[in-house]
Structure 1
Amino acid sequence: MLRLDALTKTYKTGDKALKAVTLDVPPGQVIALIGPSGAGKSTLIRCINRLVEPTSGSVMLETTNLTTLRPAALRRERRRMGMIFQEYALVERLTVMENVLSGRLGYVGFWRALTRRFPQKDVDEAFRLLDRVGLLHMADKRADQLSGGQRQRVGICRALIQDPALLLVDEPTASLDPKTSRQIMRLICELCAERGLAAIINIHDVALAQRFVARVIGLRFGEIVYDGPPDGLTPEKLTEIYGEEDWEATIEKVDEDDAVEAAE
């Protein structure tokens, strides 16, 4: 479904953010991308949809090589890649409904986009998505009136209304409290399962990654140093990814989160 082949990003300073990363993501698989700050996680996600231009290598989305596309063709292909941002990237003065419908801007003509006059089927789908994430009653509220968790749910709806084949998720829980973080991760994984969506989730919280996904990719200095199931993240492997730390506490936190999840 998605294949990265020797994907490399070198900045003008000579620093290599990614070093020949090769990775296959099958249809419907949700992957957590972990690693220390500066490991290349956000760069990897942004190189896939070319918000950051790779230096070399290729990104294949099904049969399309994204790295060779001209701007117009790239804009069309980006419609197939929903993006969920750490800082939500909502337009504060617009309503929840208007922010969700902005995910359809790549599909409507210029004048419809300018006047925000969307087809009824798009409006109906926006209502359905807001209902699914528990925000139907807030459709007419401005985005600046929402909590962090509510804003992230709006961002999820905006990505899903694109009808994407792939979700790229950049630190979706970084600004959220622990309970809301679990709710958002659970929601993303549930929606991916319902739609058969593949997703790559850049996440800083190892325990959340272990709790919610079946495959974890560990990056260090722009290279993949772990690719496997969450229970393979032993203290030794986490030390290889992050450096020295008391990882027993992190591993115990997964069991504690399971207990909290059952009680919620």
Structure 2
Amino acid sequence: MLRLEKLTKTYRTGDKALNAVNLTVPKGQVMALIGPSGAGKSTLIRCINRLVEPTSGKVFLDQDDITGLSASGLRRMRRQMGMIFQEYALVERLTVMENVLSGRLGYVGFWRSFTRRYPQADVDEAFRLLDRVGLLEMADKRADELSGGQRQRVGIARALIQDPKVLLVDEPTASLDPKTSRQIMRLICELCAERELAAIINIHDVALAQMFVQRVIGLQKGVVQFDGKPDALTPEVLTKIYGEEDWKETTRSAEEAAE
């Protein structure tokens, strides 16, 4: 279980990206973060694994206080938090297999990772994950030979090989076409269900979030304005989160996709 207690991030300018956010994400739940640009969505995800240091508040994974960990303790804790990035964050010159195995860097020693000599169990798991995400035949291809959707699948496999307790997903479909976006969201949700993983997905596409996730959090200027089920995202709620707009088409698209 992931728990945030009064999580706050204030920048030197005095602007608050997050303002005392309280949030609990139970095991196995897939949750979407929505809100306008600058609402604090990416900051929230990065404060959880301390890629961005919170100004105050606490983050707990099960009973462990992440915000109170030393540098070495944080490195160990990050093994349990898989991160999936918008821009994939792959090493272009490495193969698909090598990129997936890089998810084990927190477990193997420096020299084994430097020489890319991973335990056979890790290699076997990487092959299994590549098969699960539909890329087994591309294990030896370089990352720069892949399409955007294929790169995101490599990123998913890399996060899962960490054997995490939670997935932190930052705009996984931002650079993808509509069909591939649905495939990627469906894959993430299926894998979370299979592994009982909690997941927080930062996503701009409201209709896409409504199609797949179990719970939606709406952020506005670092404050939670909505916390509920996707079908409760009425035009009135979306106006509260984003501002005035004709939201009928957005909610209609989500309803039609669900039918």
TM-score (normalizing by structure 2): 0.99
Following superposition, the deviation at residue 256 of structure 1 comes to 3.5
- Output aligned runs, 1:1-264, within 5 Å: 1-258=1-258
State the SS of the aligned residue for 1:175: coil
CA drift at 1:254: 1.1
Pairwise CA distance, 1:214 = 1.2
Identity %: 79
SS at match of 2:36: coil
Name the amino acid aligned to 2:225.
Answer: V
State the 1:30 CA deviation.
0.6
For each residue in 1:41-95, what CA deviation from the matched residue of structure 2 results, as whole angstroms up to 9, or x when unmatched? 0000000000000000000110110001110000000000000000000000000
Structure 2 CA distance, aligned partners of 1:214 and 1:3? 17
Question: 1:144 Cα deviation (Å)?
Answer: 0.1
Q: How far did 1:117 drift? A: 0.5
- Aligned CA-pair RMSD: 0.7
Return the alpha-carbon distance in structure 2 between the equivalents of residues 254 and 68 of structure 1. 41
Gaps of at least 5 residues in structure 2 are none
Quick one: distance in 1 between partners of 2:210 and 2:131? 28
- Code of the residue aligned with 1:119 in structure 2: it is P
* Distance (whole Å) between structure 2 residues aligned to residue 132 and residue 200 of structure 1: 21
Q: What is the rounded CA distance, in whole Å, between the counterparts of 2:59 and 2:255 in structure 1?
A: 37
Deviations along 1:13-55, whole A, 9 cap, x unmatched?
1110000000011111110000000000000000000000000
Structure 1: segments with no counterpart, 5+ residues: 260-264
SS at match of 2:168: strand
How far residue 258 of structure 1 moved from its aligned partner, in angstroms, is: 3.6
- 1:214 & 1:47 partners in 2: Cα distance? 23
How much has 1:253 moved relative to structure 2?
1.0
Mapped to 2, the partners of 1:34 and 1:208 lie a distance apart of 11
What's the secondary structure of 1:134's corresponding residue?
coil
- Residue 252 of structure 1: how far off its partner (Å): 1.1
Aligned residues: 259
Output the CA distance in 2 between the equivalents of 1:60 and 1:255: 35
Aligned to 1:262: none
Distance 1:69 1:63 in 2: 12
